[in-house]
A and B are shown apart, each in its own frame.
Chain A
Amino acid sequence: QQQVKQSPQSLIVQKGGISIINCAYENTAFDYFPWYQQFPGKGPALLIAIRPDVSEKKEGRFTISFNKSAKQFSLHIMDSQPGDSATYFCAASMASGEYGNKLVFGAGTILRVKS
């Protein structure tokens, strides 16, 4: 059972455009939702994270939108740059219980920004 569903699988965006990646989760006990960026041959790096008590969080060009009732959250990359080309993973975790701080990852989105 896929706990966190991520789409699209791949995305091509023109330089300066907006990249949008969507995730949906099943378990309402999840209470922490980070996004990670991974370059080839490297480990994932935390981009931005949100908790369900807020609907939006912005850090620089990166924004998370969170819809608790729909159990969905998305990453928006404004003014996308070629250097943003990477694989992006959404994830979810909970402080206790079945997953006890473990991260459940989405399948990943390969982003390519064309210059």
Chain B
Amino acid sequence: GAVVSQHPSRVICKSGTSVKIECRSLDFQATTMFWYRQFPKQSLMLMATSNEGSKATYEQGVEKDKFLINHASLTLSTLTVTSAHPEDSSFYICSARDWAKGTHQPQHFGDGTRLSIL
């Protein structure tokens, strides 16, 4: 089955640090990946859509200069939280779809990154 790998699984760092999270599709190509944020006991909130070879599309209210997204290859998207502050602490999850199989293919999720800013 389609596997999405996310790294690192957990990050603890000081306020002001920039943190990079990687999302890889291991056995399929993904021209588009999605980045979500999830607070405890809440649903997933879509932050942005990552498009291979072009700029990401951000959801309303998400600061694009704060959350930098790069999708340089068909299997890798990165999310960089710049100058992170405690309020950026959250669970970040990526997903990808096997677009080669056409529409209505399921999104497959990574196991998330727990970001804690001290």
Distance in angstroms between the alpha carbons of A103 and B45 in the assembled complex: 10
Which of A43, A95, A103, A110 meets B112, CB within 8 Å? Answer: A43
Listed stretches B14-22, B70-78, B79-87, B100-108; interface member: B100-108
Selected from B41, B93, B104, the residue in CB contact (under 8 A) with A43 is B93
Residue of chain A at shortest CB distance from B6: A43
A residues less than 8 Å from B67 (CB atoms): none
Pick 20 A–B contacts, CB within 8 A, sort by A.
Answer: A41-B111, A41-B114, A42-B111, A43-B93, A43-B109, A43-B111, A44-B109, A46-B108, A49-B106, A95-B103, A101-B97, A102-B34, A102-B46, A102-B49, A103-B34, A103-B95, A103-B107, A106-B43, A107-B43, A108-B42
Interface membership of A89, Cβ < 8 A: yes
Residue B44 is within 8 A (CB to CB) of chain A in the complex: yes
Answer whether residue A54 sits at the interface, using C-beta atoms and an 8 A cutoff: no
Check if A103 sits within 8 Å of B43, measured CB to CB: no
CB–CB A101/B44 < 8 A: no
Interface residue total, chain B, C-beta cutoff 8 A: 23
Query: Majority SS of interface residues in chain A?
Result: loop
In the complex, whether A56 has a CB less than 8 A from a CB of chain B is no
**Interface flag for B32 (CB, 8 Å):** yes
- A residues less than 8 Å from B103 (CB atoms): 95, 101
**Chain B residues within 8 Å of A34, by CB:** 106-107
Q: In the complex, A22→B103 CA distance in Å?
A: 25
State which residues 74-115 of A face B: CB under 8 Å.
Answer: 89, 95, 101-103, 105-108, 110
